[in-house]
Amino acid sequence: MAIQDIYPTALRLLGRPVLVVGGGPVAARRAKGLLDAGARVTVVAPVASDALRELADSGLLTWEPRTYRTSDVDGVWFVQTATGVSAVDTQVAADAEAQRIWCVNASDHETSAAWTPAVAVVDDVKIAINAGGDPRRAMALRDAVATALDAGDLPLRRRRASAGTVALVGGGPGDTGLITVRGRRLLGQADVVVADRLGPRDLLQELAPDVRVIEVGKTPGHHPVPQLEINRILVDEALAGNRVVRLKGGDPYVLGRGGEEAEFCRQNGVEVEVVPGVTSAISVPAAAGIPVTHRGLAKGFSVVTGHEELSEVPARPDHTVVLLMGVAKLRESAAALAGSGMPLDTPVGIVENGYMPEQRVTIGTLATIADQAEAAGVANPAVIVVGDVVRVSPFAPEHFKTANYSTITPNKPRITTP
């Protein structure tokens, strides 16, 4: 049989009787696949594997513990033979052929009337691959295609009308490689993308030409599209039958108002999925080599968006404070932390445009950082990190380095001098 002789199709076997002849591992795999398709499966074999016995004991299929009879093919829609005995498989295939029943002969793929492809399922897409009767080749191709679909490298968009949905996708700090696989896949399926100013903007260039991009980006102090309007856009587009992706920078649930958007969608009967993202509160400091926690330096951290919240966080160098969208109020924030007891020599790092080609790092102390930032023209998007963890950064000046902490001995306290 040549591959050109194959007419690819898909069988709908829900509720239809099928026959599996054989009791070994191959028969068990085929029986499981047929059950997944909703078929009524009968297995004929003198001895059955543990896997087949479990399926029979649970009532999912019928096992006839005997040798094959020609009458076994009567009234079935499909036959799979996998006894491992060529003569038996050939007889089953001949009996099925006589009754014009499609049969897969596992012993002889060349003469088999049908082949079982290598199958992968991604969302509601089922991939079936035949590779000239070479099952390992087919499986390798299947895995490659499934991986590409999972990663969003192949188009998964629906082309027929369906119920609209909303996905709140965290895009990470902006680097296209830091979006999750699930987020990338949903973006590839989108009919409409409601996009923030931050996040992996380059991915928008990869969308199909007919995908609509609605820009709702905000800058500090300037919100051209109010949040209530963003909520309404998401719901209206989904109710129109579109697959909507709300592409956000960072993580939707970390100071991203994703909770409000999800709640509004559900209140209006729209299915919503939340896809976590790599929050900039952690990832952007990491881009500058700053861990938000570090053994011997800091066991915890707080994330805040403005100086008015700083009175509620521990004002100690061993508790990291991460400020988002805090450049405009940096001087007030530094004063607030100092007023709460944070030492003025506490290291502070500012990371602008984390992970992007124009990334820049400015490091100073609580006493000096506001003047340094003004002199350097520091601007958003930027993440500010306050605490002893800044000492770990390779961008920190040499006199910031300290040997007074341990990454080997757990919980060894930092030595302080009066």
Q: Does pTM surpass 0.75?
A: no
pLDDT digits (tens, 9 = 90+) for 76-133: 999 999 999 999 999 999 999 999 999 999 888 778 888 888 887 777 777 888 777 6
User: Residue 411: which pLDDT band, with cuts at 50, 70 and 90?
Assistant: very low
In 3D, which of 209, 267, 268 has the Cα closest to residue 240? 268
List CB contacts of 147: < 8 A, sequence separation 6 or more.
none
3-state SS class at 364: strand
Asked if the model's pLDDT at residue 203 lies above 70, the reply is yes
63-67, 304-308, 340-344: which range is least confident on average? 304-308
Q: How far is CA 312 from CA 264, 298, 336, 395, 404, in A?
A: 30, 18, 11, 29, 28
Topology adopted by domain 13-116: Rossmann fold (3.40.50)
42-46, 68-72, 117-121, 158-162: which range is least confident on average? 158-162
User: Phi/psi of residue 259, each to 5°?
Assistant: -60, -40
Mean pLDDT of 58-81: 96
In this predicted structure, what is the pLDDT of residue 137? Answer: 85
State the catalytic residues.
196, 218
In this predicted structure, what is the pLDDT of residue 325? Answer: 86
d(CA 315, CA 246): 36
Topology adopted by domain 165-278: Cobalt-precorrin-4 Transmethylase; domain 1 (3.40.1010)
Q: Confirm if 93 and 87 have CB atoms less than 8 A apart.
A: no
Identify the residue whose tokens are 């930027």. Answer: 382
d(CA 371, CA 407): 33
The dotted CATH code for 282-400 is 3.30.950.10
Asked if the model's pLDDT at residue 35 lies above 90, the reply is yes
In 3D, which of 81, 87, 132, 95 has the Cα closest to residue 110? 132
In 3D, which of 23, 6, 10 has the Cα closest to residue 81? 23
In this predicted structure, what is the pLDDT of residue 219? Answer: 60
